[in-house]
Each structure stands twice: as structure tokens, then as C-alpha cells.
Amino acid sequence: MTRTCTASSPAVHRYVPASGERASWPLPERIGCIARRGEGGFIAGFKSGFAFLDLPEGRIGKIGDPEPERPNDRMNDGKCDAEGRFWAAQAGRRDSTPALRPAAHSLRATGRTTSPCGP
């Protein structure tokens, strides 16, 4: 099974190659990364920060934004590590130019975020 996210028209898409089954779930804002949770559902990085995502219901449970003072930034390129932390990079924009200010954030099961790779 393959899952992809689209930023231009926010959605998660699922494709099952063996059966050809396809499904899409529209989202209210840009999504940059997604990972499966052990207890079901997904963890995701949205423009507004980290959130739990339950499909097919489409429920979004906001967790928080690690950098709310940067409203033009968005989460991008995330995955879980062996300890269960969800890592996501944050990409920013200054006006219409991509910012050269990379940052990475880690979300722990407790809901606490850390930025060990940030500026």
C-alpha cells in the first residue's frame, strides 16, 4: 500500500497496487509528512504543526506548533525513529523566496517537542 500527500491541494492519497484500489482524503491545510502510529491512525506534520490524523474519518487532533512565531514555515520530510519519536524538518519562506534556515523538530509520545538540530 502506498500513501502520498499533496501540498498544492491538501490531501492524503492511498493506492493499493495489488487491487488497484485508490482513495483520497481532503485536508483543511497543507501537509508535509505522515507516519503510521502503532496504536492506529497517523502522526502528521501540517503547516500549523504536529497533529494526529485518523483516516478514513478525517479527524485531526492538533498537538502543537514548535515555532508559532514563524507563521510562514511548514513541516516537511518527517519520519519515526527506532525510539518512536516523530522527526520533521521545518521549511520556511521569506516573502516568495525559500528561507535558508533549516530546523528539525522531534515529537515524543508525551507530546513534548524538542529542536536539537534547530538554529
Per the CB < 8 A criterion, the answer to whether 24 and 12 are in contact is yes
Q: What is the pLDDT of residue 74?
A: 80
Show the domains of the chain with their CATH numbers: 2-114 (2.120.10.30)
Q: What is the tens place of the pLDDT at every residue in 31-88?
A: 888 988 888 889 899 888 889 999 888 789 998 888 888 888 888 888 888 888 888 8
Average model confidence (pLDDT) across the chain: 77
Kind and range of the H or E run holding 94: strand 93-94
pTM for the model stands at: 0.71
Cα–Cα distance measured from residue 46 to residue 60, given in angstroms and rounded to the nearest whole number: 10
Give 97's strand partners. 94
Q: 60: which 3 cell numbers?
A: 485531526
